Chains A and B, each alone.
Chain A
Amino acid sequence: MTKVPVQFTLNGREQNEFVDSGSTLLAALRDKLGLYGTKAGCHQGTCGACTVIIDGSPQLSCLTLAERCAGKSVTTLEGLTGNGALHPLQQAFMEGFAAQCGFCTPGMILAAKSLLDRNPSPSRDDVIDAISGNICRCTGYDPIINAILTAAEQLRGARKSA
């Protein structure tokens, strides 16, 4: 396997890695960097479990070639708790029973974060659209949608009081 150097920003820190040419960002995150918070559910872009945020937009790490991340900024679930405190989305998922088996949770939270980063006051339909590429087989989605709306409210409150 040819190794290729890639420089990118990962969860706010500069990262220099040699990756296998043609390998995916998902493989680099999990197998190389040990960031197992990003999950592999289908390797074909249909389940959303591997969703990460690249330069502000949600993307599927299973379909993203690691080499093409050069110069980009990648956020994984591990990046949300960088300072130790839980993100309001994590708190709301926890309190709202929005995670059961937990396997879709990382992708769900990142899909939701990229929505809230762009749109702090989403409607219920906006939330449904934002997670439409993320499959959950346990919850029936309602607790997840409610948790995202709760987190949005909390983030708006925090912004106002700041």
Chain B
Amino acid sequence: MIEYRKDYFSDARTDGLTEVGVTRQRSDVLGHVTGKTQYYADRHFAGLLHLKMVRSPHHHARIKSIDVSRALKVPGVVRVLTAKDVPQNIYTILCLIQVEPNDEPVLAFDKVRFKGEQIVAVLAESEQAALAGVAKVKVVYEELPAVFDVEEALKPGAPLVNEYHGRNWFTYEGHHCRRVRFGNVDEGFAAADHVIEEMYQSSPIEHAPTETTGCIVVPDQNERYTCYSNTQALYFTLDNSALILNSPFHKLRLVGGTVGGGFGGKVDVITEPIAFLAAMLTRRPVKYEYSRAEEMQVSSPRAAERIYIKDGVAKDGRILARQVRLYVDAGAYSRHSPYGTTKAAAHMPGPYTIPNVWVDCHCVYTNRTPSSAMRGFGVTIGDFALEVQMDKLARLIGMDPMEFRILNAYRDGDMKAHQKEVDGAALVECVQAASDLANWPIAGRYRAMSSQKREG
């Protein structure tokens, strides 16, 4: 059950809430329970072609040659697409918000940089024929050494993953990582009673939506094309597709909004540009849908992260310095990870007031599946690391972990490491309420603390 505690901060706002605290039925649920909700694939188009992809079996390899002649002889195969067919083959999704450089091919041509990377699209009258065609495309590779570990990738002499960057990391305004500098951590560590450093790491996590990623593109009259997609990012998809296809934007129309599970896994623009292109070149409706295996293998997961946290803490419970080195495994291409890494930097050192902070967040390229968005990306793994670290620190100095958090929680008016003054803090009250619900007693001194001012 949800309980609304409107007594908190009641002086800081007017209580004119009409929706919060009221149960409303989902607007789309009647369609869901009757099977009438129309997902992108719940449509019939005469003459629909099926698109299946030739994918790299290697993590890192040079493409020596591509031979599609035998695929074209498979009954039912209509045509194939290679990099040569793509007007602007190199792109990066976040070029729309000035992230540079373009670093990812729509279809790989000279190199493959992760296992499962798409190389040749086969279009056929049936799925079976398309799969048979895929099996007949011959790609000759020269395998290259691959790198799968973020710290290995940063070492001199590591295999170069992505030539468009020229190095295995994303460059932030001339810097090799996203940085936060506040106070002087060395002085903080020197003044501390205890200094500890711990390492935390996570694996990639796949969203595994029940509906796999896909789209159908249908040619209209007047050289216009409608794309029915389950993307979570309709306008990103429209804009990136127009750039990749060198097409005026008004020629492309996106229909979406109904997603069979997204969780951030459907914000990358992968299936639509190639399906648009296929529909343009064949003048027929084209469906490009990931199989379950493709969804698991090639759709972007949440990035793996490795995080080192070094803390200096005083006996009285105050954290005096926090130094963080954080590595985001972007995989072979940027996608949303340069942004996720910035979010990670913005989230450190956590919701605590610490006078000395030093943060380096690295966005690192490896030969793993490109990572991207997923529910709180750049933040969730960091929070896991920070809160485990908080428990360790509390144990180290013999303090109650709830009281330790309340003591260090930021308060309105404190200066954050990012040089922004805290406003609207509520952590103290959250921890107090959580301790009540968990029957976890806290001392009166901590019960009396408030987010709105720091006690004298």
Name A's B-contacting residues (CB within 8 A).
Answer: 1, 30-31, 34-44, 46-47, 49, 76-78, 80-81, 86, 89-91, 93-95, 97, 99-106, 109, 135-138
Q: Interface centre among B32, B43, B44, B292, by most A CB within 10 Å? A: B32
Bound together, the chains give a CA A135 to CA B189 distance in angstroms of 49
B200 within 8 A of A: no
Closest to B39 in A: A103
Contact across chains for B33 and A93 when beta carbons are under 8 A apart: yes
Q: B261 near A: Cβ within 8 Å?
A: yes
Interface residue total, chain B, C-beta cutoff 8 A: 32
| A101 and B35 contacting across the interface, CB-CB below 8 Å | no
Residues of A within 8 A of B34 (CB): 37, 77-78, 80-81, 86, 90
- Asked if A97 and B26 sit within 8 Å, CB to CB, the answer is yes
Complex CA distance for A131 and B207, rounded to whole angstroms? 20
Cβ of B172 under 8 Å from chain A? no
Which single member of B41, B126, B211 contacts A101 (CB below 8 Å)? B211
Instruction: Tell whether A41 pairs with B212 under 8 Å between CB atoms, given A34-B44, A94-B25, A99-B26.
Output: yes
Which residue of chain B lies nearest to A81 when distances are taken between CB atoms in the complex? B34
Q: What 1/0 flags go to B29-70 for Cβ under 8 Å of A?
A: 111111111110111100000000000000000000000000
Report B205 CB to chain A, min CB distance, Å: 12
A39/B210 in contact, CB under 8 A: yes
CA distance A133 to B291 in the complex (A): 19
B38 lies within 8 A of A36 (CB): yes
- Say whether A102 contacts B37, CB under 8 Å: yes
Q: Across the interface, do B29 and A102 meet the contact criterion of CB distance under 8 Å? A: yes
CB distance from B228 to the nearest CB of A (A): 13
- Cβ–Cβ contact A47 & B25, under 8 A: no
A80 partner residues in chain B, CB cutoff 8 A: 34
Chain A residues lying within 8 Å of B42, measured Cβ to Cβ, are: 30, 36
In the assembled complex, which residues on chain A have CB atoms less than 8 Å from the CB atom of B36?
37
Specify which of B212, B260, B262 is in contact with A102 (CB 8 Å cutoff).
Answer: B260
In the docked arrangement, what's the CA distance between A145 and B262, Å? 22
Chain A CB within 8 A of B148 CB: no
Task: Tell me, rounded to whole Å, the shortest Cβ–Cβ distance linking B375 to chain A.
Answer: 11
Q: What are 11 pairs between A and B in contact, CB < 8 Å? A: A36-B41, A37-B35, A39-B210, A41-B210, A81-B34, A90-B34, A94-B32, A100-B26, A101-B262, A103-B211, A137-B208
Give the residues in chain A near B44, CB-CB below 8 Å.
31, 34
Report B157 CB to chain A, min CB distance, Å: 42
When distances are taken between beta carbons in the complex, the residues of chain A under 8 Å from B39 are 36, 39, 103
Query: In the assembly, what is the distance between CA of A90 and CA of B207, in Å?
Result: 27
Complex: A99 Cα to B291 Cα, angstroms: 24
Any A CB within 8 A of the CB of B413: no
Q: How far is the CA of A35 from the CA of B36 in the complex (A)?
A: 9
Say whether, besides A97-B26, A99-B26, A136-B210, A105 and B291 are in contact (CB < 8 Å). Answer: no
